[in-house]
Structure 1
Amino acid sequence: MSTFVKNAWYVAAWSREVGRTLLSRTLLGEQVLLYRREDGTPVALVDRCPHKLAPLSLGELKGDHVQCGYHGMTFDCTGTCVRVPGQQNIPPTARVTAFPLVERYGAVWIWMGDPACADIGTIVDVPHYGDPDWGLVDNQYLHFRSNYLNITDNLVDPAHTTYVHKNTIGNAAGEDVGVKVEQGDAHVLAYRWIRNAPPVPLVQKMANFSGMTDRWQYYYLHLPSTSYVDFGCIESGTEPTEDNKDRGFRSFSFNFLTPETETTTHYFWLHLRNYHAHDSAVSADVERLMTLTFEEDAVLLAYVQREQERTGVREYTRLGIDNAPARIRRMVERLIAQEAPLADKQGDARTTADACGA
């Protein structure tokens, strides 16, 4: 059974990746063709000619249309075949699926489920995006050799930072600090405050704290697989208001996970910060340090995936810190169940509202 939620927006590519060259990418187990029309509008089609199943990406663009490189069948932006060389009639089966797209935050988002459910209002909000007082590192990508749910487990787990990321965003001060969990209709939040502690290496490098700090980690996971981390610190004892946090050291890291296959994941990310916003050298350093942090996760989770496949077991023991990951997996399971064919004994199909989770 697939672990993919289809009725959701996923990042298919950064906007700068999609142009007048045919781009093929595996998304949710499906091969997808991406390109731009002559007016700049992005297009996404199933990358498979319905005749002999040759990848359309091996063909070429003819204006806004795609010509298959095998027998020349030509498809428009809706996936409708508009030409079959050598014959006048076009079979009704000569079409490919087209997917809704929207561009936001410098990325092309794709909806691979029921088009009637594609609500752009469900795309997560990115605070301070476009704010000139906040520095931005974007267009970042990593490839994880892990199922996306192992990564979402990791992204609502502040406790692992003490051990996995001790060279960047963690230190020993957080070892015995518990994690609190809150749940909404479409998100889970795991968070903790580490008070009166030395600043972590990243803060030591980028900020100018003279003494102990109070540090927060707020890990949000918006279903099915968009994560953002509100991370920062203030002088120890400072009242933790939003204004004081914005005046302290603060960043928002957004991680847009798009399943590639059941065992691999596209990991798109961007990072916003309130410190040294206009310093390109700091941006380069943040990019390097955050990439190091995510690569530490990628290496560890690849081993986790390997052992899960070898043993057929996800975990033998559950800990208190697994509260948030367990909630997310249950919520994802419910979404997948809503999308599965729901038929009663008479074989009646579900309604669109059921499929969209209404």
Structure 2
Amino acid sequence: MSSFVKNAWYVAAWSREIGRHLTARTILGENLVFWRRQDGTPAVLVDRCPHKLAPLSIGTLVGDDLQCGYHGMTFSGSGQCVRIPGQAAIPPSACAQSFPLVERYGAVWIWMGDPALADAQHIVAVRHYGEPGWALVDGQYLHFDCNYLNITDNLVDPAHTTYVHKNTIGNAAAEDVSVKVEQGDNQVLAYRWVNDSEPVPLVKAMGNFTGPVDRWQYYYLHLPSVSCVDFGSIATGREHSEQEMDAGLRSFSYNFLTPETETTTHYFWLHLRNYHADSAEASTQVARLMTDTFLEDAAILALVQREQERTGVREFVRLGIDNAPARIRRLIARRQEAEQAATATSPAASQTAVA
């Protein structure tokens, strides 16, 4: 059974990636092709001509439409065939599947489930996006060689930062600090405060603290696969309030996980910070530090994926720090079951195939 949730918004690409050219990308195991119409709106179709199944991405744009590079069948952005060379009649089955798209936060989002449920209001809100005093690093992308659920496990696991990220956002001070977990209908939160401790390398590089700090890590996972990490430090002894946190060194790292296949994931991310907000040099340094951090995750998760595939086992023992990951997987499983039940009770959309 697929691990994918289809009734959800996923980042398909950064807006700058989609233009007046054809861009092929695999999402949720489906090969897709993207382009922009002449008015700038994005379009997407399954990357497969319904005639001989040639990839549409090897075709050509003709105005707003996509012409197949094999026999010249031409499709609108909605998937309807608008021309067949040498043939006036267009069969009803001569169509390619399209999907709802929305642009927000500099990204193109796609909905690959029931189009009737594609409400853009359900796209996760990015805190402080576009607000004065908050610097933005966006347009970032990595490719992970693992299932997206292994990444969501990692993104609600503050405990691993001590060992995996000791050169960037972690240190030994957090080794024995327990993690608290809260759960809502559509999100799981894992968090902790590490008090009266030495600043981690990133905070040392970017802050001006002269003594110990209280450091927080709030790991939000919005189902199925959008992560927000609220991370920062204040001088030890300050109140643990939103006002003091905003006055300290604070950042919000958003990670948009889009499953490519069952064993690979598109990892889009952006980062907002309230320190050195006008410094391009700081933005470059933050982008490098965060990329280094995520590459550390990617390396160890690729090894985890490989061993899971070899053994057929996800884990042999569960620890207390697995509370949040276990909750997420249960919630994901419920969504999958609900989608399957809805599909079973509704007329299936079919496309006539000729063997």
| TM-score for the superposition, normalised by structure 2 | 0.97
Please give the alpha-carbon distance, in whole angstroms, between the structure 2 residues aligned to 1:308 and 1:93: 41
Number of aligned positions between the proteins: 348
C-alpha displacement of 1:321: 0.2
Asked whether the equivalents of residues 158 and 190 of structure 1 are also in contact (C-alpha less than 8 Å), the reply is: yes
SS where residue 315 of structure 1 aligns? coil
SS where residue 265 of structure 1 aligns? strand
The answer for the alignment partner of 1:31 in structure 2 is: 31
C-alpha displacement of 1:33: 0.8
Say whether 1:170 aligns with 2:170.
Answer: yes
C-alpha displacement of 1:350: 8.7
The answer for the alignment partner of 1:259 in structure 2 is: 259
Kindly provide the CA deviation profile for residues 155-182 of structure 1, in whole angstroms up to 9, marking residues without a partner as x: 0000000000000000000000000000
C-alpha displacement of 1:341: 4.1
C-alpha displacement of 1:332: 0.3
Kindly provide the CA deviation profile for residues 268-324 of structure 1, in whole angstroms up to 9, marking residues without a partner as x: 000000000010001000000000000000000000000000000000010000000
The answer for the alignment partner of 2:353 in structure 1 is: none
Within 5 Å, give how 1:1-358 maps onto structure 2.
Answer: 1-341=1-341, 348-349=345-346
Asked whether the equivalents of residues 342 and 350 of structure 1 are also in contact (C-alpha less than 8 Å), the reply is: no
- Identical positions, percent: 70
Please give the alpha-carbon distance, in whole angstroms, between the structure 2 residues aligned to 1:250 and 1:105: 20
Q: For residue 177 of structure 1, what is the amino acid of its counterpart?
A: V
Kindly provide the CA deviation profile for residues 67-101 of structure 1, in whole angstroms up to 9, marking residues without a partner as x: 00000000011100011111111111100111100
Asked whether the equivalents of residues 32 and 44 of structure 1 are also in contact (C-alpha less than 8 Å), the reply is: yes
* Structure 1: runs of 5 or more not aligned: 352-358
SS where residue 24 of structure 1 aligns? strand
Asked whether the equivalents of residues 140 and 268 of structure 1 are also in contact (C-alpha less than 8 Å), the reply is: yes
Kindly provide the CA deviation profile for residues 78-133 of structure 1, in whole angstroms up to 9, marking residues without a partner as x: 10001111111111110011110000000000000000010111111111111131
Asked whether the equivalents of residues 226 and 256 of structure 1 are also in contact (C-alpha less than 8 Å), the reply is: yes
| TM-score for the superposition, normalised by structure 1 | 0.96
SS where residue 261 of structure 2 aligns? coil
RMSD (Å), alpha carbons: 1.2
Please give the alpha-carbon distance, in whole angstroms, between the structure 2 residues aligned to 1:116 and 1:217: 37
Distance 1:80 1:107, change over 3 A: same
SS where residue 230 of structure 1 aligns? strand
SS where residue 214 of structure 1 aligns? strand
Distance 1:134 1:342, change over 3 A: closer
Please give the alpha-carbon distance, in whole angstroms, between the structure 1 residues aligned to 2:172 and 2:199: 11
> Which region of structure 1 is more displaced relative to structure 2, 138-147 or 234-243?
234-243
Please give the alpha-carbon distance, in whole angstroms, between the structure 1 residues aligned to 2:66 and 2:342: 36
